[in-house]
Structure 1
């Protein structure tokens, strides 16, 4: 099975040795996104709600570049430096996803790249 590297300028470019996403067959593995502005490659300014929205927007841009959308995500991993923000993630996520929701994990971590408060990655399956 061949693999394709997914890239879009609508999401932050990779800041390390990875691709924004890799497509193998009808499965797309989305790399972790932090709340970087794709134009400036700096963290967005504002509260945690702004960071969470930017991460969903970044994931959405990569999903679209791969030929899908957030609705095609079957597994979402959420990393938070403060799990007290998890209810806010749920609230905002409801504006980006519709039922049936993806499988999900939420993990509390000590730190994230560039001092971000949130990072998310996922697995997407495209319709045949």
Structure 2
């Protein structure tokens, strides 16, 4: 997948792990990842009360869903982030920067009053574009 991070001096530079805009070649499969929360595979909630740990689990869950669709985290071109406390912005992006590298996905973050469970602090949904097998791709990008 050819993905390009768009940056212009006509807009303020992002202050987190995201781009002003992202372009993606239209060849490939679109993958729409539902809102991921801090649920572990066993159903328990990771990091109750800890936004960094919940963000880490959410990013791992997004990566797992994208892998199950045949892609990698570098194939993600957009995320929507729902948080209980916008004051956690810097902590969330500190963790996101460990998962997403340039070209960064486009992103929107919104503070909400409630999520599906009272212990959830963050939820992220994503859109990925996965190149057909054998096509130009970002497959060499590693995530941690």
TM tier relative to shorter chain: 0.7 to 0.9
Equivalent residue, structure 2, for 1:79: 82
1:92-107 mapped onto 2 (5 Å cutoff): 92-107=95-110
Partners of 1:126 and 1:28 in 2: how far apart?
7
In structure 2, the residue corresponding to 1:123 is in which secondary structure? strand
1:19-74 CA distances to partner (integer Å, 9 max, x unpaired)? Answer: xxxxxx610000000100111x1211351111010000111110100011111011
Equivalent residue, structure 1, for 2:45: 43
After TM superposition, the runs of 4+ consecutive aligned structure 1 residues lying more than 2 A away are none
Instruction: Decide which of 110, 120, 124 is 2:128's aligned counterpart.
Output: 124
Deviation, 1:103, is 0.5
1:11-26 mapped onto 2 (5 Å cutoff): 26=29
Note the residue ranges of structure 2 that are not aligned, 5 or more in a row. Answer: 1-27, 133-144
The TM-score, its normalising length taken from structure 2, stands at 0.69
Instruction: Decide which of 57, 61, 67 is 1:58's aligned counterpart.
Output: 61
1:59-110 CA distances to partner (integer Å, 9 max, x unpaired)? Answer: 1110100011111011100000000111111111111011010010000000
Root-mean-square deviation over aligned CA pairs: 1.1
Which one has a bigger Cα radius of gyration? 2
Contact 1:78 1:105 in 2 (8 A): yes
In structure 2, the residue corresponding to 1:111 is in which secondary structure? coil
In structure 2, the residue corresponding to 1:49 is in which secondary structure? helix
Partners of 1:27 and 1:59 in 2: how far apart?
14
The TM-score, its normalising length taken from structure 1, stands at 0.77
